[in-house]
Amino acid sequence: MSMAGSLHLAWRYLAHHRVRTLLLILALGLTLSLPVAVRSLVEIAQQELRARAVATPLVLGAKGSAVELTLDALYFRRRGMETFPMMEMEKIRDSRLAKAIPLYVRFHAQGAPIVGTSLDYFSFRGVRLAEGRMLTRLGDCLLGSKVARKLGLHPGGTLTSSPEQVFDISGVYPLKMRVTGVLAKNGSADDDAVFVDTKTAWVIEGIGHGHEDVAQAAPANTVIEKKDYNVSVTKEVQMFTEVTDQNFASFHFHGDAETFPLTAALVLPNNAKSAALLLGRYQKEGGAMQLLRPAEEMDALLASLFQMERFALLLLVALGLAVLLITALVFALSFRLRRREFATLEDIGVARGTVLAVKVLEILMVGAAALLFVWFLWAGLNRLGPEVVRFMLR
């Protein structure tokens, strides 16, 4: 019998026992895919994390976990970061050694982080508009490309911030924001965020608010004390939950702006010397603030990730060997149970070499199908891996 005949017999047997064949292919394919998947995802994560970190010279934040501060500033994680007063960022600006871009990341809207920042952020990140216009007043917001697509929003629409708790007894109302533009996709965390001015973020915080002119329109039962220069009212006065052209002038803030909170600030030094001076100053002074290089913190994180990856790969290799031995046992038992079938083939004149070829071809066909499965998974990871990594970093 020719090789074509051996191939036909092997194929017919595998096709007849399709369930067993499929299970073998999936077992082998998944086992071989796991090391490939781990290695691919780690490489993609390294590229994604380092690229954004290297592009950010310095980050200012409250003392605490340097890694958490880095991830909060770069990926808007909103994981309970400590805040610091605006005046700390102003010290950087006053030094004339660097520019500083504020970040206040605490709230969200339908799962997307709300990033309070300034217009300088968009020029620094090289983010451009796909449609609409930039922020023009209090209450405006810009949507990342993925957020806009997910929520089906366009310029002219509205998006309401989500309360931190279902029952918020602090009196902070969700803010209905006007969508002024949608950002072009740039393959970063910016695609998954909602951007507002820091003042808008502080309105969501409850530091600023707007309401009717209490001197003219407040009901008598809400007025505590009325003087020529001031009117004190109870909390029953309804606050505006949307900034419009008609009520814009009524919005105001209580307290000193220099004490308003930020979660981080991107620091852009004028040159390498300025960066060194700023870093030395914060290391020398200590205190409640820290200034760090995101690239260094990310390299330390990736070093730990690499150690974990090696440990995981060792475990996966051991698992792979176990699955290969089990697969060999399955084939051995299968060939043993089919001894009568092979004996019949020899009785009708099929050479032993041909019977052996049938066995080998069955093993090779299952192995080839498993490798094809691995290739498809690898191709899929190369295409979707960055999206998976960004989702995991959220």
Can you give the pLDDT at residue 39?
A: 73
Cα 61 to Cα 264: distance, rounded to the nearest angstrom: 5
Of 73-87, 107-121, 338-352, 364-378, the least confident: 338-352
Tokens of 212: 């009717």
**Is the pLDDT score of 352 beyond 80?**
no
Lowest mean pLDDT among 142-156, 194-208, 215-229, 255-269: 215-229
Whether residue 175 has pLDDT greater than 50: yes
Q: Where are the domains of the chain?
A: 3-49+301-393, 58-210+251-292
Q: Which amino acid type is present at position 236?
A: E
φ, ψ at 14 (rounded to 5°):
-65, -40
* Number of continuous H segments (helices) and E segments (strands) in the chain: 12, 16
How many whole angstroms separate alpha carbon 268 and alpha carbon 281? 16
Query: Running DSSP on this structure, what letter comes out for residue 257?
Result: G
Q: Would you state the pLDDT for residue 234?
A: 47
Tokens of 298: 């990310």
Q: Which structure tokens are listed for 109?
A: 């809207």
More confident residue, 303 or 102: 102
Region 171-182 average pLDDT:
84
Q: What is the pLDDT of residue 88?
A: 93
The percentage of residues in the chain with a pLDDT greater than 90, rounded to a whole number, is 32
Task: Please say if the pLDDT value at position 44 is more than 80.
Answer: no
The predicted pLDDT at position 223 comes to: 47
Q: Is the pLDDT of residue 230 over 90?
A: no
Whether the predicted pLDDT of 309 surpasses 70 = no
Q: Which range (157-161, 180-184, 215-219) has the least confidence? A: 215-219
**238-251 confidence digits (pLDDT tens):** 677 778 888 877 77
pLDDT at 5: 66
pLDDT on residue 325:
80
Question: How confident is the model at residue 236, as a pLDDT?
Answer: 53
Element (H, E) at 114: strand 112-117
pLDDT (mean) for 15-42: 78
Q: Is there a contact between 109 and 304 (Cβ–Cβ < 8 Å)?
A: no
pLDDT band at 84 (very low <50, low <70, confident <90, very high): very high
Check whether 102 has a pLDDT greater than 70.
yes
pLDDT score of 104 more than 70: yes
Is residue 90 pLDDT above 90, yes or no?
Answer: yes
Of 46-50, 174-178, 369-373, give the range with the top mean pLDDT. 174-178
Q: What is the DSSP string of 46-77?
A: HHHHHHHHHT--EEEEESS-HHHHHHHHHH--
User: Given CA atoms 184, 190, 193, 197 in this order, what sign does their dihedral have?
Assistant: negative
Q: Give the mean pLDDT of 343-354.
A: 71
* pLDDT for res 228: 46
Whether pTM exceeds 0.75: no
User: pLDDT tens digit string along 115-125?
Assistant: 999 999 999 99
